[in-house]
Structure 1
Amino acid sequence: MKKLVLTGAAGRLGSYLREPLSKMCEELVSTDLAEDIGKLYPGERYVAANLESLDAMVDLLAGADMVVHFGAIGDEAPFETLLGPNFIGAYNVWEAAYRNGVRRVVYASSIHAVGMHPKTDFIGTDAPHRPDTFYGLAKCFAEDLASMYWDKRQVEAVCLRILSCAQVTNPRAVGSWLSYDDLIQLVQRAIDTPVTGFSVIYGVSNNDRAPVDNAKAAFLGYRPKDNAEQFAEAVFAEAGPLDHQDPGNMCHGGPFASVELGNSGVATMNIVDDRKKT
C-alpha cells in the first residue's frame, strides 16, 4: 500500500496506531489539530488539518489508498459542539475519500451507537441503532453515511464499534475492554481484508463477559487474544454492589446511558491517559 491517512493521530488511541500503520504502507500521513505530534516513525509525516474543512480533507486524502478515521471529539457534549468535528467532519472524510478514489474508510465508531440496548441482550452487528447520547447519534450518522457511500458510490467502509479501549478500572470494562494490542489487530484486519463492502464489527477483546457478538463479522479475520477476566476479582471487590436500576449499569453504553444529553460521560469513567510516547 502506498499511502494511508490516519486522523486523530494526536489522541490516545491514535498514539498506539501510528507505528503499526506506518509499517503497512510506504507513506503514513498522520493528522490532527495539534501543531505537531513529536517524533515521527519511518515513512510517517504529520499534517495539521481541521476535519471541518472539506478542502483540507480533499487535499489530505489525495493519492491515499485508505483512510483510518479516528478524529473527533471523543465524549458527549452539546449537539452544537459535536456538529462540526463529529457530524460534518465525518461527511468531509467520506466525500474527500470519494473525490480522491480512496478505496476504503476504516472508521472508529462506538458502542454508543447502540448504547441504550440492555446489556443483558447479547447484541450482534446487525442490532438497530439506539444511541445513548448526541455522541452516539454522531456514530449512527457516520455509520449510515458509510452505508450510503458504499451503496451509491462504492467507497468501502469498516465501522469499528469500539466498546472501551482503556485500562480496566470499573466493572463494565471487565466485559467491554479492548486492549491496545487487540485494537491494533482490529484495525490491521479492517485494512488488509481484501473485500469488505460496508461492514460493522465490535471492538472488544476476547473477554469471558463480552456482551456483544461478532459472528457476522468473522470474515474480517479479527481474533482478539486478551481477556479482562484477569482483572475481574479486584475490580468487582473495589466497586461493591451496583445499582441495578441505573442505566449506566444496565445498558451497553455504560455511563453514557446515564448522563443528561450534552453532559460529559468520560468525566465519570476514570480513564487513565496512558498514550504511547514516541
Structure 2
Amino acid sequence: MIKKLVLTGAAGRLGSYLREPLTQMAEELVSTDITDDIGALYEGETYVKADLSDLAAMTEVLQGADMVVHFGAIGDEAPFDDILQSNIIGAYNVWEAAHRNGVRRVVYASSVHAVGMHRIADNIGLDAPHRPDSYYGLSKCFAEDLGRMYWDKRGVESVHMRIFSCAQVVSPRSLSTWLSYDDLIRLVRAAVSAQTVGCSIVYGISNNDRAPVHNLGAGHIGYKPQDNAEQFAEKILAEAAPADPTDLAQMCIGGPFATIDLGESGVAQLTIIDDSKKT
C-alpha cells in the first residue's frame, strides 16, 4: 500500500469516481482542487484547496507524497490564456513539485484530443504522432512531452492516460470511444500499482468492438478493460441520424473538437450527463 497519494481535480466529475478507490490504495489520500469544499470525505482522505497555477502551493501539497494522480485542469477547449494557466503551467507545476519532493510517479489524465485530428479509419496505435485538435489537445501534447523530459532528465516516472469518452453512451461516436467509470478506475489502479512504467502512454478506452485505436504496447501497465459499449448499439443506432462521411467530426477520433473554432467549447457540442458521484 502507498503511504501518501495526491489526487488533483478531485472536485471534477471523473475525480469524484476516483476518490474512494484511491483511498483503498493509500494510507493517506490528499484530494485537492480550487473549490472550497468537496463534500463528505472518505476514511483516510483529507482535502486541501490549492491552485495548479501556484507552484509553491503544489509543492506544499505534494510534500511527502509517493505518487500524484493529476486530473486537475480545464476539461474542454477554451481561450489559450485560460488553457495556459490551468493546463500548461499547471502541468509544469505538478511535475516540478513532484521532482522537488522526490515523488516517484505522476499518473496523468491526458486525452484523445492530443491525437484528435487522426482519422478513425487509420486505427492508430500508441506510436502515432501528436495531432491535436484544439488548444486543449495541444496542452495534453505539452504535458506528455513534459513527462517524457522529466523521466529522461530527472527520473520522475509517468503514465499518460489518453482518456476518451468517459461519460454515458449517448451517441454513435461514443459506441467506439466509451470509457466506463469502472474501466477508468481499473486504468488508474493499474497505472498506480504497476511496478515500473518509465514514461508510458496508454489509451483510456473500454473494450469496445468499434474502438478507433489499439493499445498494443501498453501491456506492461496491466490495464485490462472489461466493459464494451456494444450493449448500447441497437438503441443508439436506431435513433441516430444518417452518417455523413464528409463531416470531420464523424471522421476524426477527436469528434466535434476536430471542427470547432480554436478557443470555442467542444463539450458544448456533446451531450454529457453530469452524473458525478456524490459523497
Q: TM-score, normalised by structure 1?
A: 0.99
Deviations 1:17-68, CA, capped at 9 Å, x for gaps: 0000011001000000110100000000000000000000000000000000
Structure 2 unmatched ranges of 5 or more? none
3-state SS of paired residue (1:92): helix
Match of 1:139 in 2: 140
SS of the residue 1:38 aligns to:
coil
Using the aligned pairs only, state the percent identity: 68
- Which one is further off, 122-131 or 233-242? 233-242
Shift of 1:134: 0.3
For 2:240 and 2:145, how far apart are their aligned partners in 1? 37
Letter in 2 for 1:149: Y
- Counterpart in the other structure of 1:54: 55
- 1:38 & 1:71 partners in 2: Cα distance? 17
Deviation at 1:236?
A: 1.4
Structure 1 distance, partners of 2:239, 2:102, is 51
What SS does structure 2 have at the residue aligned with 1:136? helix
SS of the equivalent of 1:249 reads helix
Aligned length: 278
The residue aligned with 1:19 is 20
The code of the aligned residue for 2:10 comes to A
2:110 matched residue in structure 1: 109
Unmatched runs of 5 consecutive residues or more in structure 1: none
Distance 2:82 2:195 in 1: 37
Once residues 263 and 271 of structure 2 are traced to their aligned partners in structure 1, the CA distance between those partners, rounded to angstroms, is 19
Q: CA deviation at 1:235?
A: 1.0
Partner residue in 2 for 1:72: 73
Amino acid at match of 1:10: A
Is the aligned partner of 1:275 residue 2:263?
no
Residue equivalent to 1:88: 89
* Residues 152-202 of structure 1 deviation map (CA, whole Å, 9 limit, x = unaligned): 000000000001100001111000000000000000000000100000000
- 1:193 maps to 2:197: no
Is 2:225 the counterpart of 1:228?
Answer: no
User: 1:263 maps to what in 2?
Assistant: 264
- CA RMSD in angstroms, aligned pairs only: 0.5
Counterparts of 1:268 and 1:25 in 2: how far apart (Å)?
38
Distance in 2 of aligned mates of 1:252 and 1:215 = 18
Name the CA distance, whole Å, in 2 between partners of 1:265 and 1:48: 28
CA distance in 1, matches of 2:18, 2:115: 25
1:213 Cα shift? 0.8
Where does 1:210-249 land on structure 2 (aligned, <5 Å)? 210-249=211-250
Q: Secondary structure at the match of 1:140?
A: helix
2:31 aligned with 1:30:
yes
1:124-175 CA distance string (max 9 Å, x none): 1111000000000000000000000000000000000001100001111000
Q: CA deviation at 1:276?
A: 0.3
| 3-state SS of paired residue (1:2) | strand
One-letter code aligned to 1:98: H
Aligned to 1:124: 125
1:150 matched to 2:174: no
**How far apart are the structure 1 equivalents of 2:204 and 2:272?**
17
Distance 1:157 1:212 in 2: 21
Which secondary structure state, in structure 2, belongs to the residue aligned with residue 216 of structure 1?
coil
Cα distance per residue 1:59-78 (max 9 Å; x no partner): 00000000000000000011
Per the normalisation by structure 2, the TM-score is 0.99
Secondary structure of 1:31's partner? Answer: strand
